Structure 1
């Protein structure tokens, strides 16, 4: 899956590209609208992540021009503007989705997965599952062996991240940047707190031990055996 990220904020661009690469996306980058347009015009990308406020051509102009040239690559707009009129303007320009800054990286990934499913013509969201745990992303619900688990949105995002990285050691800072976002006012202690909350939610189902603590590093979701 090849993605073009067009973002002039170097720190945000690097962070997005790094996370997408970790998720096995092939990533190209551009820092202004003219370069982004030139690259996207090649038609080699599966998805575009396009900031609206860019040097040179802005994102709206880039996408309108691409659509007029027959480039139909699914596009996710990034913007700091949250007014309904701004969202309407972006969608009318040809965007497939719209994400307001600041955002959690996990939400960005979920939006891209949704665009990917839409492009493939999938009719319904596929649940995330691991060792009896199931998360239904389209309705933000979980269950264990068919029994419903009530989760807050942040608990859901955390468990979703752990399931997608099952049986891998994930660093605390990786979890924080993906679930809370790069510009969150919280800090990494929130990860430990929500792991505690999540274990309490899983305890009645006997699967709280799935979330292993990797001392001084982070966590791992692993159902079998004991990780020392």
Structure 2
């Protein structure tokens, strides 16, 4: 594993370098924001450990510029700022994970290994097309026959799961777990009511209902209505 370590505390940086190299990895050290940006943009790394508070360009500025430049190496943001707002800000800037100082080296390496187990971005499906219905996860939009379909977040999540499993039955239990995170039946018609609104909006965009109710089993997205 080739790791870029952007950390201005030389003791911490050397500790990380030594630990990673003992595990058979290759570590490159930089201590300033501009150097981190240049190294990450010009060399290929398997992962980046990025201190949030670097001299010159901050870690967040480096991160935003790397993502804008389409650098996709997974980034573990390393920082002493551990508040919820700080974590959210770091993740929204493009970090893949967040580790608060002081930290255990074993946890850092476990987190890096977890990041490397994720599929490459090019292998992640972000757009689904079933019949004349298109759902784009990055743009967060849905169209039918080229006409925009405006969905609420739960409706969007329901349609995403049906399109991911197009042609196959998705059970009510699966939808409760995948869309609402329920691992039990709340004994309500929450699935049915949201599906009813979703179906109505899809029909309003033109065409028949593309969602089939499979009696006693669940629901299935059809390629044509």
What does residue 30 of structure 1 align with? 30
What does residue 78 of structure 1 align with? 78
1:84 deviation in Å? 0.3
1:120 deviation in Å? 5.7
Task: Note the alpha carbon deviations across 1:62-104, whole angstroms, 9 max, x for none.
Answer: 0100100110110000000111000000000000000000000
1:43 and 1:71 in contact (8 A); partners too: no
Q: How many residue pairs align between the two structures?
A: 122
Task: Note the alpha carbon deviations across 1:5-28, whole angstroms, 9 max, x for none.
Answer: 000000000000100001111111
TM-score by length of 1: 0.52
Counterpart check, 1:94 vs 2:94: yes
What does residue 62 of structure 2 align with? 62
Q: Secondary structure at the residue paired with 1:41?
A: helix
Q: Secondary structure at the residue paired with 2:77?
A: strand
1:119 deviation in Å? 4.0
Cα distance change on mapping 1:68 and 1:120 into 2, 3 Å: closer
Q: Secondary structure at the residue paired with 1:48?
A: strand
1:48 and 1:75 in contact (8 A); partners too: yes
TM-score by length of 2: 0.53
Runs of 5+ unmatched residues, structure 2: 122-225
1:74 and 1:119 in contact (8 A); partners too: no
CA distance in 1, matches of 2:23, 2:78: 19
Runs of 5+ unmatched residues, structure 1: 122-228
Task: Note the alpha carbon deviations across 1:131-170, whole angstroms, 9 max, x for none.
Answer: xxxxxxxxxxxxxxxxxxxxxxxxxxxxxxxxxxxxxxxx
* RMSD (CA atoms): 1.5
What does residue 10 of structure 1 align with? 10
1:118 deviation in Å? 1.1
CA distance in 2, matches of 1:33, 1:119: 28
CA distance in 1, matches of 2:39, 2:80: 24
Correspondences of 1:158-173 after superposition (within 5 Å):
none
CA distance in 2, matches of 1:110, 1:119: 17
